[in-house]
Amino acid sequence: MTIRRVSIIGALWLLLIMASLVNAPGCRLNSLPPATTVAPVDSSFYGRMGDSLGVSVIMDSLLSQVRADPAISHYFTGIDTTAFKIGMAAQLCQWVGGPCTYAGPSMDSVHRGLDIDTAQFNAFISDYLNAMNSVGVADSDQNRVLTYLVSYENEIVGK
């Protein structure tokens, strides 16, 4: 333990010394030309959602949200979580202009017989927004996703 502490402290001192040299006159590190290539920033809707990794993280958060929501958690007991996440991720990816196409069942057929009411639908929407908030999706992008979600209300509520 002591040896590790000494090596960490030594490494920190070395970093501090190197940092102070960067701005020292005549230092070679200070005279290096700036980098000419910078990775492009993906400013597309899909990119702002975090690409496939971001969509996956949102779906993980969504599943946690709905399972903890007393208004709708009973709908998510015993479901195939992998199929749920794959289907929901494909839908979100498609909605935000990603390279995915949702090929699953219709919303009407998935929700038929569940007798979901407006309050439960709104609870799901709220959980979805919380999931997007948890990963830092911008409000304007959340509103765009909300538009897609709400467009399915007639296929889900009262079926």
Q: How far apart, in Å, do the first and last CA atoms of the chain sit? A: 63
> If you average pLDDT over residues 61-90, what whole number do you get?
94
Distance CA 11, CA 15 (A): 6
Give whole-number Cα distances, 29 to 12, 97, 106, in Å: 19, 42, 59
Please give the CATH superfamily to which domain 45-156 belongs.
Globins (1.10.490.10)
> Against a cut of 0.85, is the pTM above it?
no
Confidence of residue 50 (pLDDT cuts 50, 70, 90): confident
Question: In 3D, which of 100, 29, 104, 92 has the Cα closest to residue 60?
Answer: 92
Per-residue pLDDT, 9: 52
Distance CA 94, CA 146 (A): 14
Per-residue pLDDT, 159: 73
Distance CA 89, CA 95 (A): 10
Token output for 149: 């979600």
Residues 6 or more apart in contact with residue 47 via CB below 8 angstroms: 41
State pLDDT tens for residues 91-144. 999 999 999 999 999 999 999 999 999 999 999 999 999 999 988 999 999 999
Distance CA 62, CA 131 (A): 5
> If you average pLDDT over residues 57-69, what whole number do you get?
95
State pLDDT tens for residues 10-27. 444 444 444 444 444 444
